[in-house]
Structure 1
Amino acid sequence: MAQDLDTIDARILDIIQRDASLSVAEIADRVGLSSSPCWRRIKRMEEAGFITGRVTLLDNFALGLNFEVMASVKLALPSRENLEAFESIVQDWSEVIECMTVTGAVDYMIHVVTTDMHAYDNFLRDKLLGSALVSDVQSRIVVRVSKRTTALPLGLVSDKLKSS
């Protein structure tokens, strides 16, 4: 699918993934296009599914959401039905900001954000362990975040485009 992109497309994507508030004119100026062709490229990439949405990123610490946990979740019975059921209930848990199926001794890694240890304990007891689907949870409290980004490594896409 990346072969449908050229280096200008990759530059546009890199710009808007770092700051979606920029106008089309500002993006166009940064990549050396006029506004109309830039807008058409952005629309084409939206329609192709390269751009799936635009959001505003919030500072969890400024909002008092100071407690983060990475939790390994093991299901009691990892059947197709139970995997789908767990993935469905996680959608309703606002504390879970990421849920990923993983390989190895556990079934999922979830990233939980909440206000404090007590709120996490309530989440753990009432929601995670309260679900008959879950047999084990191993929690890792995040002490410090040394890097956090939503930006994908589009330099890898650009490198691939240059070599093709």
Structure 2
Amino acid sequence: MSDLIDELDARILNLIQEDASLSVADLAERVGLSPSPCWRRIKRLEDLGVILKRVTVLDPDRLGLGFEVYVSVKLSLPSRANLEAFEARLENWPEVVSCQTVTGHEDYMLRVMTRDMHAYDDFLRDKLLASDLVSGVESRIIMRSVRQTTAVPISLVLDKDAPKETKAAGGK
């Protein structure tokens, strides 16, 4: 069992992840609480930083932004200053919907959304490759999305059968 959440919190979190528009009254009814204790649990989870924000998930295809690419980026010199400079530039590129630093040959993995191949080519040429910080790029065009979720797998937090870390492995 997690130190942060119990099974009731997990049920609330799963419901919120599925539909963030549910009212506190609806959530309370579904988990078997009255609204006030349910609201206090939600507030506690927000205060702990477990709930970061509540959002609406849009359909990019319906909006004409169905061209999606995963892009591996290698910096010319991955110094702290260059990493910070590159990350600052990303803030001005709306096409980049996700960016992670990664291990291996590349420094970053970007998830890029555009209207089509031509718009991606413009992004690649005018922004990414125009940056003097970038020495290499490898693009992987998404053909079809098989599974996609924004939900965190709460059941893994509460899984009593999951292997526990040992002190030798860095656990508590």
Give the percent of matched residue pairs that are identical in Structure 1 and Structure 2: 62
Give structure 2 stretches of 5+ with no counterpart.
Answer: 165-172
Q: Distance in 1 between matches of 2:130 and 2:56?
A: 32
| One-letter identity of the residue aligned with 1:128 | L
TM, length-normalised to structure 1 = 0.95
Q: Which residue of 1 aligns with 2:48?
A: 48
The 3 A distance-change label for structure 1 pair 163 and 118 is closer
Give the Å deviation of 1:87.
Answer: 1.1
Structure 1: give runs of 5+ residues left out of the alignment.
none
Residue 26 of structure 2 corresponds to: 26
Residues 88-109 of structure 1 show CA distances to partners (whole Å, capped at 9, x for unaligned) of 1111110000000000010000
- 2:170 maps to which residue? none
Higher helix share: 1
Per-residue CA shift, 1:72-129, capped at 9, x if unaligned?
A: 0000000111111111111111000000000001000000000000100000001000
Cα deviation for residue 163 of structure 1 reads: 9.9
Q: How far apart in 2 are the matches of 1:14 and 1:64?
A: 30
Q: Is 1:82 the equivalent of 2:88?
A: no
Count of residue correspondences: 163
List, as ranges, runs of 4+ consecutive aligned residues in structure 1 with deviation greater than 6 Å.
161-164
1:158 aligns with 2:158: yes
8 Å CA contact retained: 2:156, 2:162: no
Could you tell me how far 1:18 is from its partner in structure 2? 1.3
**Corresponding letter in the other structure for 1:154:** I
Cα distance in 1 between the residues matched to 2:10 and 2:163: 14
CA distance in 2, matches of 1:36, 1:91: 39
TM-fit CA distance, 1:29: 1.2
